[in-house]
Amino acid sequence: MSIFADLAAMQARFEARDLLELTDHENTGDLVPSRIEDKLTSADALITGYIARRHRNTAQFAGNTILRDIACDYAFYLLWRSDPPDWVIDRKKAALKQLEQIAAGTLMLDQGEETAAPRPGQILTTTADKQFGRDNLGGF
């Protein structure tokens, strides 16, 4: 089961007829959810590879809307066996660009507030407030 997106997210993002056409290789007229889940699992692996550079606990981002959209767009691209349309390729490229931005730290998933897990034997210190800074030198 994928972490960042599921079948419902794919159905909400893409047309039912497109998903049916891309998964029903036997022409039974039924959507094949296992094919979509397989591609979502591949998208999860890719996403985890990018965000693990910045975040140790990648599972904490399950349900993140940015990652859900990236997973859906990448999985939809993977469903095409050959010659995806330009709009599908463009969405895949945009998804990969966002992943690169996440890995570089220019696109934040947690609003920059990830807290590190405590380590055994760590040393905690406190410091006094800054005496000089923009907040306390307003009159000068």
Q: Where are the domains of the chain?
A: 7-104
Q: Given a cut of 70, is residue 104 above it in pLDDT?
A: yes
CB 104 within 8 A of CB 86: no
Where residue 48 falls among pLDDT bands split at 50, 70, 90?
A: very high
pLDDT tens profile 57-94: 888 888 889 999 999 999 999 999 889 999 999 999 99
Q: Is 3 in a helix, a strand, or coil?
A: coil
What is the percent of the chain where pLDDT is above 90? Answer: 56
| Token pair recorded at residue 16 | 């039912």
State residue 88's pLDDT score.
Answer: 95
pTM: 0.75
Mean residue pLDDT of the chain comes to: 86
| Token pair recorded at residue 76 | 């939809």
DSSP state of 71: H
Spatial distance between the Cα atoms of 104 and 106, rounded to a whole number of angstroms: 6
Q: Given a cut of 70, is residue 139 above it in pLDDT?
A: no
Q: Given a cut of 80, is residue 121 above it in pLDDT?
A: no
Spatial distance between the Cα atoms of 66 and 71, rounded to a whole number of angstroms: 9
CB 78 within 8 A of CB 39: yes
> How much is the average pLDDT of 49-59?
84
Query: Which of 50-64 are b and which e, b meaning 16 or more Cβ less than 10 Å from the residue's Cβ?
Result: bbeebbeebeebeeb
- Which of 87, 103, 91 is closest to 47 using CA atoms? 103
Say which amino acid occupies 56: R
Spatial distance between the Cα atoms of 55 and 82, rounded to a whole number of angstroms: 34
Give residues with Cβ within 8 angstroms of 26, minimum separation 6.
Answer: none
